[in-house]
Amino acid sequence: MRRSHFIVVICFLFSIMSYAQSAIVRGVILDESSNPIENVNIKASSGEGTATNTNGF
C-alpha cells in the first residue's frame, strides 16, 4: 500500500515538473529608436528557436 502511494506521488511530481517547463514568450524586438528589428534569432535554453519577422514579432 505504501509503495503504490509512493509511485502515485512520484508520477504526480513528474507531471507537474514537465508542465512547469513549458512557457509562451511573446514580445516585439525594438531598436533604440523603437523601430522593429527583423531577422533577429531568438533561442530558448531548451534549444528551440525562431526568428523575428519584418514587424519584429
List, for residues 18-41, the tens digit of each pLDDT value: 665 566 778 888 988 989 988 889
* pLDDT for the residue 18: 62
Residue 55: which of 33, 32, 37, 34 has the closest Cα? 37
Residue 49: which of 40, 30, 22 has the closest Cα? 40
Other C-beta atoms within 10 Å of 16: how many?
Answer: 9
The mean pLDDT of 1-15, rounded to a whole number, is: 80
Is the pLDDT confidence value at 13 over 70?
yes
- Three-state DSSP class for 11? helix
Spatial contact of 36 and 29, defined as CB atoms under 8 Å apart: yes
Beta-carbon contacts of residue 41 (< 8 Å; ≥ 6 apart)? 49, 50, 51
